[in-house]
Structure 1
Amino acid sequence: MRPIIVLFTRDLRVRDHPALAAAADRGAPVVPLFVVDPAITSRAARNRIAYLCEALAGLRGALRAVGGGLVLRCGDTVREALCLAHETGAGRIHLSADVSALAAARSARLRREAAAVGVEVAEFPGVTVVAPGELVPAGGDHYKVFTPFWRAWEAHRWRDVVAAPRLLSLPTGVSEGGTPEDALKGAGVGELSPSRQPGGEQEARRRLSAWLSNGCSSYERLHDDLAAAATSRLSADLRFGCLSPVETARAALEHPGGRSWVRQLAWRDFHHQVTAAFPGIAVRDYRPRDVRWRDDEDALEAWRGGRTGVPIVDAGMRQLVAEGFMHNRARMIAAAFLTRHLRLHWRHGAAHFHALLTDGDVADNCGNWQWVAGTGNDTRPNRRFNLLRQSRRFDRDGDYIRRHVAELAGLSGPDIHAPWRARTPPVDYPIPLTDLGE
């Protein structure tokens, strides 16, 4: 029986992996493959490269534990996959379907070039809970508003979780190649955050277990409390597919508070089905609003560096640098300041986030940026963002600000939210870049 290649992309796990399970079920030798493609890794955040390296090492270990292995190649993904098919005599290539413009173009090219040499390509679900295209409103190709999508999503029958393969075998003579560290040496842009989370399926499952046991029940009450840091911190694990979205959602619904948190997975699916229908989401307005954006490189650089003079904004921006992560409420606040107050283009903000976030998912990152900027799927594109009110509401005592903005560690009470009003303003902290319109 001819071998089957399983091309891993951002589905770096062995549990509930439909493409891998389907290959194993056919009884043929399975050749798991990951291609380090410079077209992607040269532009990826250094935090994502570090996570990827750890995830690949864990994936290789998990595959070896059941008799298989992980082949690592460097180069163009399509070309390397077809070269390996030629070397091994593989007749099929399995992969998980994805939605970004890059992924869609890669899949189309793989199908076209594989067909020319007699190799079948099969795509499987696995990146989202509900695959894009499974839920379609009457008279449209995708949902443009979240609430009706959420109702349809919640009522939809999700696919079953599939077991990890118990036994795999690489064809004789196949070399797995070098280590992930060697393959990814020198890749990535941006800073490596000193407090980033480690990557890989084992770490992801440990975090999921801890979250379901200790955090999920209080999510609905505390998820917007910036100081409490009461969110799951699973976004990077889902982005790299070290956790199965379906398995994660099913597990969460068995715990108190799970439905509220699972709604965030529906938001993730919502952005993915929007991106599948509008793959230009990273570069074009989903809903053009004729916004007149300003050019101000100094203001943009101050925002990037967490020196805007608005403590709640600066705290989020500094958390991003330190951890490769930012609390979702802080992301919204930082995005609102850039787009609504400074009137700088959302693409600048999305690009900076993408250069530092470990999760860094195109659909979620750009979908959320466009939502805040008023060019995306928000049904109230002109909504107001009162940043001082947000600060007082979601960081009432200023603990989040003090945690990330060292210059303000000595302030308390109302001064922590508006230090320029303090009787003795801190001399090493800037005044706000713009009038906040209180």
Structure 2
Amino acid sequence: MSVSVVLFTGDLRLHDHPPLRAALGGGREVVPLFVRDSAVEAAGFAVPNRRAFLADCLQDLDEGLRGRGGRLVVRSGDVVRETCAVATQSGADEVHMSGEHTRYARHREDRLRAALEADGRRLYVHDGVVTAVDPGTLTPAGSDHFAVFTPYHRRWAGHRLREPLGAPHRVPVPDGVHSEPLPVRTEVAGTSPGLAAGGETEGRRRLTAWLRTGAGAYEERHDDLAGDATSRLSPHLHFGTVSATEAVHRARRAGGPGAEAFVRQLCWRDFHRQVLAARPAASARDYRTRHDHWRTARTAADDIEAWRRGLTGYPVVDAAMRQLAHEGWMHNRGRLLTASFLAKTLYVDWRIGADHFLGLLVDGDIANNQLNWQWVAGTGTDSRPNRVLNPVLQGRRYDPDGAYVRRWVPELAGVSGPAVHELWKLPAAERARYDYPEPIVDLGEALARFRRARDLD
């Protein structure tokens, strides 16, 4: 019987998996393979929260395969070397994988293709698996990518997506291919205590439940910090336990303004990926420079540490940073206001904040993380690069009763209502009862500093 290898990467699922379905074509046996990439480890990207979530995903993927007569093969090391070794051991003549468009993924694909072809084997790369619309599919006249979201969204919304695929009924796996033991979440030290569970089973459960009970109010409530009205699907999209294509189709079938607002967020994900695919240097350098002379890790050490620990004296900022530390996840509105506070209010290099987020976020994705940070810092695709989000106004608007702050900053639990956003206005005797720092910066002075730095005065 002919044998194929399916190399799983950012697509850890059985539903809507074109490479797996293609590999099974013609009654073939398949080796489902995941390689714990030593290059990812060396780059510092395999942080505890993502390693633990990945362990859940691999365990769940293996269980799904075993229910279909198969199993997952796990190896560690160089992806090209390990994939070629598995192909040799199993007698596979072809390898299937999902297309990805980061600079590293393209280099990995080129190396793998060359190594397989040198050994008489073929590599098949399937697009439209990791994203709903692949980078490069939609381009404006005269450019290789869209630099502004609105026209991209217009084209994206009108693009015909492929139909999602069901999970295969059987996945026959040949004998004799060695696998390392699957990683286990409990073996990973240093994780956030409130880290969510991973895996396709959990991802599909969450998507179904949210479309049934949460999507209808999403347009009105997606910025409600205390209400927690977002889908929380970003980790599952990052690891591919939920298909972006299937999520779009299911949301559109559900219909309504909330579902459409959710689909728009999935479009943002594709937008950032097509920007980074065209401009890979934007992961570390300004997409559009403003000639900033940022404060650095040395010159702003105390302010940066206060921001990281959630001790800035601005309660809504601190609440969001503490949520990140506890859950390895942060509400999107929290991401915007904490990033604005670091990059514009404290005038600290956006890369310092982006690195901190990547060290904790279970959905830590280079395209979304780096380009959202650049959007907020004003060096990315934002058409209003000098906007500054005032944390007091943001708190009043998106946490009007202070419930989000009191949830994550328990030392302020005794402050009722919106007064929690402006502690300095409390009577001195009452303010003294709370063990909470004074603001590390005056907002008016910070705004003036930023405007001088950007030559806006």
Deviation at 1:172, TM superposition (A): 2.8
Unaligned runs of 5+ in 1: none
Q: Is the 8 A contact 2:98 2:130 kept in 1?
A: yes
Distance 2:412 2:341 in 1: 20
Q: Is the 8 A contact 2:86 2:177 kept in 1?
A: no
1:108-257 correspondence runs (5 A): 108-124=110-126, 125-181=128-184, 185=187, 191-255=190-254, 256=256, 257=258
Distance 2:2 2:32 in 1: 14
Deviation at 1:374, TM superposition (A): 0.7
- Structure 1 partner of 2:268: 267
1:332-371 correspondence runs (5 A): 332-371=336-375
Q: Is the 8 A contact 2:354 2:369 kept in 1?
A: yes
Q: 1:71 aligns with which of 62, 70, 73?
A: 73
Q: Secondary structure at the match of 1:36?
A: strand
Deviates more, 1:191-200 or 1:231-240: 191-200
Distance 1:22 1:279 in 2: 30
Q: Is the 8 A contact 1:135 1:152 kept in 2?
A: yes
Q: Secondary structure at the match of 1:6?
A: strand
Q: Secondary structure at the match of 1:180?
A: coil
Deviation at 1:365, TM superposition (A): 0.7
Distance 2:141 2:55 in 1: 43
Q: Is the 8 A contact 1:145 1:377 kept in 2?
A: yes
Deviates more, 1:238-247 or 1:103-112: 103-112
- Structure 2 partner of 1:36: 36
- Between the aligned residues of both structures, percent identity stands at 50
Q: Which deviations, in whole Å up to 9, do the C-alpha atoms of 1:382-413 show, x marking residues without a partner?
A: 12322211111011011000000112111124
Amino acid at match of 2:36: V
RMSD between superposed Cα atoms in Å? 1.6
Q: Is the 8 A contact 1:101 1:280 kept in 2?
A: no
What is the TM-score when the length of structure 2 is the normalising length? 0.92
Q: Secondary structure at the match of 2:337?
A: helix
- Structure 2 partner of 1:258: 259
Deviation at 1:414, TM superposition (A): 4.1
- Structure 1 partner of 2:283: 282
Distance 1:93 1:208 in 2: 30
Q: Is the 8 A contact 1:304 1:317 kept in 2?
A: yes
Distance 1:32 1:428 in 2: 54
Q: Which deviations, in whole Å up to 9, do the C-alpha atoms of 1:104-127 show, x marking residues without a partner?
A: 221222122222222211111211
Q: Is the 8 A contact 1:41 1:49 kept in 2?
A: no
- Structure 2 partner of 1:96: 98
| Larger relative contact order, structure 1 or 2 (CA cutoff 8 Å, min sep 6) | 1
Distance 1:91 1:286 in 2: 42
- Structure 2 partner of 1:325: 329
Q: Is the 8 A contact 2:93 2:122 kept in 1?
A: yes
Amino acid at match of 2:399: D
Deviates more, 1:388-397 or 1:112-121: 112-121
Q: Is the 8 A contact 1:72 1:180 kept in 2?
A: no
Deviates more, 1:405-414 or 1:259-268: 405-414
What is the TM-score when the length of structure 1 is the normalising length? 0.96
Distance 1:263 1:209 in 2: 18
Deviation at 1:174, TM superposition (A): 1.9
Q: Is the 8 A contact 1:320 1:357 kept in 2?
A: yes
Q: Is the 8 A contact 2:345 2:388 kept in 1?
A: no
Distance 1:341 1:383 in 2: 11
Distance 2:324 2:379 in 1: 24
Q: Is the 8 A contact 1:375 1:381 kept in 2?
A: yes
Q: Secondary structure at the match of 1:359?
A: coil
Distance 1:272 1:210 in 2: 27
Amino acid at match of 1:15: H
Distance 1:110 1:402 in 2: 51
Q: Is the 8 A contact 1:69 1:176 kept in 2?
A: no
Q: Is the 8 A contact 1:7 1:34 kept in 2?
A: yes
Amino acid at match of 1:229: D
- Structure 1 partner of 2:19: 19
Deviation at 1:201, TM superposition (A): 0.5
Amino acid at match of 2:85: C
Q: Secondary structure at the match of 1:291?
A: coil
Q: Is the 8 A contact 2:400 2:418 kept in 1?
A: no
Distance 1:49 1:344 in 2: 29
Deviation at 1:89, TM superposition (A): 1.8
Q: Which deviations, in whole Å up to 9, do the C-alpha atoms of 1:351-382 show, x marking residues without a partner?
A: 11111111111111111001000111111111
Q: Secondary structure at the match of 1:172?
A: coil
Q: Which deviations, in whole Å up to 9, do the C-alpha atoms of 1:258-301 show, x marking residues without a partner?
A: 11111000001101111111122221111121111012111111
Q: Secondary structure at the match of 1:242?
A: coil
Amino acid at match of 1:329: R
Unaligned runs of 5+ in 2: 448-457
Deviates more, 1:96-105 or 1:154-163: 96-105
Amino acid at match of 2:286: D
Equivalent pairs counted in the alignment come to 434
Deviation at 1:169, TM superposition (A): 1.4
Deviation at 1:179, TM superposition (A): 2.3
Distance 1:116 1:288 in 2: 43
Deviates more, 1:227-236 or 1:41-50: 41-50
Structure 1's 269 and 87: CA in aligned 2 closer, same or farther, altered over 3 A? same
Distance 1:117 1:375 in 2: 46
Deviation at 1:421, TM superposition (A): 2.1
Deviation at 1:63, TM superposition (A): 1.1
Deviation at 1:185, TM superposition (A): 4.9
- Structure 2 partner of 1:431: 438
Amino acid at match of 1:65: G
Deviation at 1:26, TM superposition (A): 3.5
Q: Secondary structure at the match of 1:94?
A: strand
